[in-house]
Chain A
Amino acid sequence: MFPRARNEHWRSWLGSLLLLAACQQLAAAGLIKAKAWLAPVLIEQAWTESLERGGLPVKPWPWADTWPVARLRVPGRKLERLVLAGDSGNALAFGPGHALASSALGGAGLAVIGGHRDTHFAFLQHLLPGEQIQLQLPDRSWREYRVETIEVVDSSRQSLARDTEVERLLLVTCYPFDALRANGPLRYVIAARPESAFQMLSRRM
């Protein structure tokens, strides 16, 4: 009787402990996802306001250290993402970020947008060469790009060359897409070139 009861007791504790740890891990994972899925609502409002105010930066929440700088759209897949300023971890948690060390978006040179592979940029794995990508800039103009190449690079061996002449857009995310390791060196890089220099009139999206 007694040993069994004690055994019972021990099992129940172990079970609860495991559950607690599981909750903690799942909650942490959930928080990452929740941040990724909830923030766009606020960022969307900030972007709308930013457009109304002629491209002034508008922070999505008071203590934010980033703000939307462009809208990225893949018309073929009915996908939209707001691009934030900066590609540091605290910007990428809320949306894809424009690497400040790269050229300005929509201008001459190589512009780089990075995003998390398991949230905002998970869709990159489905993109195919030739697909259209659109980018709305703070001045409401739209630029159109077409995916030119898709490659996987080793970021510990290669770095990005700064180019200020030829306009190119790089969408970068971690690779492989379903890996568990967060510090892997591989990057999935989609390079796009402007389809033409023409600008579409801004429409409500």
Chain B
Amino acid sequence: MKQYDRVYYHLMRDAGRLGGLPLWLVFRALPALLGTALVLLVLSAVPARAMAQEGGGDLTLASLASGQMLLQGDRPGHYVPALLQSSKARFAISGMIATVVVEQSFRNDSSSAVEGVYAFPLPDDAAVRSMEMVIGERRIIGQIREKSQALKIYDAAKAAGKKASLVEQQRPNLFTNRVAGIGAGERIIVRLEYVQRVTFANGVFSLRFPTTITPRYMPGRPLEQNPEQEPPPALAVNPRLGWAVATDQVPDAASVSPLQFPQEGDERAPLNPLEISVRLDMGMPLARVEAPYHDIALARRASVYHIQLADGVTEMDRDFVLTWQPVSGASPTAALFTEQVAGEYYGLLMVLPPARERAGPAPPREIIFVVDTSGSMGGVAIAQARDSLSRALLELRPEDRFNIIEFNSSHRALYRRPMPASRHHVQQAREFVRLLRADGGTEMLPALRAALDPPREGDGMAEQLPLRQVIFITDGAVGNEVALFEEISARLGESRLFTVGIGSAPNSWFMREAARFGRGSHTHIGALEEVGAKMAALFAQLSESSAVNLNVNWPVPVEACPERLPDLYLGQPLLVAVRFGTEAPAGEVVVSADIAGQPWRQQIQLSDGADPVTAARHDGVASLWAQQKITSLLDGLVLGRDGDAVRAQVLPLALRHRLLSPYTSFVAVEEVVSLPEGARADTVPVLNTRPRGQAPQTFAYPRTATTGPAKAWFGMLLLFAATLVRVLRQPEVDHVPASEE
């Protein structure tokens, strides 16, 4: 007690000598505190040596890297990732439905345990219905859970040192797989199964399997990050291991912007190898089976085709597309598949309306071309876009009007208003197209607005042409898809929007949905050689009459998706997924429409058939119905419905059908603890391969300012204020004794 008193007394005397407590604080306490802090900092930071490792050939700065993602390869500038990914895709195609098993194998080549994060694409209409994790001989079946609940289960398993895997949907065609507890030298396999509809258009069946993600542009202003809050210790650009910073328009930017290898993909020694095997059973003779972007080996047993890659393995740098065509005359015109799951019957109806000659020439129309010239189009994509546009210009007739809008960070139109497609104007347009270069951002929204806004009234050429068609040429590499869909559905009016997807790995979801909301069609162009044929097919759709007023009459009450049937363009089939309820469907389905001004109808019998295309029972139909239902419920978000209401409808549906959705995730946890307690596992991104032919990816500038100056300035201000308070008090202190005497 006494000692404390003494200390207090000395302190007070010291303070008194300096002229008061505040001054004492400034001149005694502050320097002492600062000094102590400095000394502590020096003492605590004793240099330590990182544990060295017994050397391998490729071992340089990095393998022990905490959160390091790349090992330096044998040549400068070439890297070997710490976590290697390879994929296998097994397709079982039967009739109009494909069941696909994708196997992702993660091998940890580093010398410590890691958590891997892999962002990967799947077809945009994939109904992902099962997941399992394979560790050596053990198989762990993934459970479908509400998204946040799944994340909790996964995080708990990760923290406990268990092996676990979490598959989440970020976009309908973009998923992430997190795999925790991959020990040094270990391999974990995650197997996903999805069901998908086969695309059937213009008499050709096709299937698209995306393998990599074109880096997307994230419009909007970066969300302010709290500068006090340092990012967690991951050496990747940010914690979700994407390169993009969240913006007000794309708050999940980091989750949809996976990092890529700095070097280009290599077909012989792939960075992300992919094996493919396809079992194709159409139950009818096929005229041809082709993969336009890959070399394939084809074997045939009876009517079943087996397809593999000619080299066994390929680089995951472009979409895998398989197309096949029945011999002429064997093409189906109608088919109905059903499946019974949990006592309920589901169906998938496909009907192809016949092509009918239009009576007389097509009416004149106004065509607006919108071409994406953003940085992500750099390389082969812009060449394909230029070629497509030039080709399209040749298809214009003198009575048509047209305009071209190019956009990147800003947009620019060729003409102030659409011009007649005279020879002079077409020549001008060709010159404009020839000079297009890819550079800058992808500010798609203003360009879309400009294209969809109808021409102003009384604007010289007042006469409105009967057809207004917008042809949108892009790779769809944007992160704000839903905002764009909203814009399209709100502003479409009498226009029709057709999308042309360009490049090795276009955003297929954007292409399909933009065309759906734009009540048009979508086309993919993946190589320069295809431009001619694809643009010709597109223009055939543009000028031929479509099937309108479609109606499907079911013999029993059903829940059908989509509820509102779209208009169909030339060569497009009608696809409707239905839920019949608990009774086996029977009777006759009647489909009717107006084609070229004449009525058309077709009946389909609800009964078994021997032909696989029309065979009644088909695995996966229920999943496809649920997926279709979820898609139409999610349309509510675009049309302005309340997010919580949509979620409340989608969540039970996705859980019941065990489907991945924006609100559900798959999680698998091994019950054995495999990492020693306290062991640190770094989070490592799996790098994607850059889309083939694409110009290099961009990345953000580092954030290079501290809050130091602001703090120092504010501190000084406060100090000044404190001094002011003190100085203002001084005269009174002098005054007090005087008055008392």
Contacts and interface: CB of A to CB of B under 8 A. Distances in A.
A89 interface: yes
Nearest to A115: B704
A46 B37 contact: no
Interface residues of A, number: 95
B25 A19 contact: yes
Nearest to A164: B262
A77 interface: no
A25 B715 contact: yes
Interface string A142-165: 000000000001011111111110
Nearest to B726: A15
B335 interface: no
Contacts of A75: none
A160 B698 contact: yes
Nearest to B718: A22
Contacts of A102: 699
A89 B722 contact: no
A180 B715 contact: no
Contacts of B696: 161-164
Contacts of A32: 706-708, 711
A156 B221 contact: yes
A89 B245 CA distance: 14
Nearest to B700: A159
Contacts of B700: 155, 159-160
Interface in B41-84: 41-42, 45-50, 52-53, 60-62, 64-70, 72, 76-77, 79
B705 A184 contact: yes
Interface stretch (B224-232, B322-330, B537-545, B657-665): B224-232
A12 B21 contact: yes
B259 interface: yes
Contacts of B705: 116-118, 174, 179, 181-184
B708 A118 contact: yes
A103 B704 CA distance: 19
A56 B715 contact: no
A116 B710 CA distance: 14
Contact of A22 (B53, B698, B703, B715): B715
Interface in A106-136: 106-109, 112, 114-119, 121
A45 B69 CA distance: 25
Interface in B390-417: 409
Main SS at interface, chain B: loop
A86 B65 CA distance: 11
B222 interface: yes
Question: Which of B222, B375, B704, B722 has the most CB atoms of chain A within a 10 A radius of its CB?
Answer: B704
B702 to A, nearest CB: 3
Interface string A6-25: 00100110111011011111
A30 B712 CA distance: 8
A59 B710 contact: no
A155 B719 contact: no
A183 B235 contact: no
Contact of A42 (B45, B698, B707): B45
Contact of A187 (B47, B701, B709): B701
Chain B interface residue bracket vs A: 35 or more
A138 interface: yes
A163 to B, nearest CB: 6
A4 B230 contact: no
Contacts of A114: 701-704
B349 to A, nearest CB: 47
A100 B70 contact: yes
B714 A25 contact: yes
Interface string B72-98: 100011010000000000000000000
Contacts of B441: 157
B52 A56 contact: yes
A74 interface: no
Interface stretch (B26-34, B157-165, B301-309, B493-501): B26-34
Interface in B352-372: none
Contacts of B695: 161
B77 A61 contact: no
B234 interface: yes
B262 A183 contact: no
Nearest to A162: B696
Interface in A168-194: 172-174, 178-184, 187, 189
Contacts of A164: 77, 262-263, 696
B47 A18 contact: no
A45 B42 CA distance: 14
Contacts of A180: 709-710, 713
B233 interface: yes
A89 B703 contact: yes
B699 A162 contact: yes
B725 interface: yes
B38 A61 contact: no
B22 interface: yes
B235 A86 contact: yes
B236 interface: yes
A53 B49 CA distance: 11
B61 A69 contact: yes
Nearest to A153: B701
B729 interface: yes
A23 B72 CA distance: 46
Contacts of A112: 701-702
A18 B708 contact: no
A8 B695 CA distance: 71
Interface string B222-252: 1011010011011111000001000000000
22 contacts: A11-B728, A15-B725, A19-B26, A19-B719, A28-B715, A39-B45, A45-B47, A46-B49, A55-B60, A56-B53, A66-B235, A88-B233, A99-B699, A103-B262, A116-B708, A159-B700, A164-B263, A172-B702, A173-B704, A179-B709, A182-B705, A189-B701
Interface of A: 4, 8, 11-12, 14-16, 18-19, 21-35, 38-39, 42, 45-46, 49, 53, 55-62, 65-67, 69, 85-93, 97, 99-104, 106-109, 112, 114-119, 121, 138, 153, 155-164, 172-174, 178-184, 187, 189
5 closest Cβ pairs, A-B complex: A114-B702, A25-B715, A22-B718, A26-B715, A107-B76
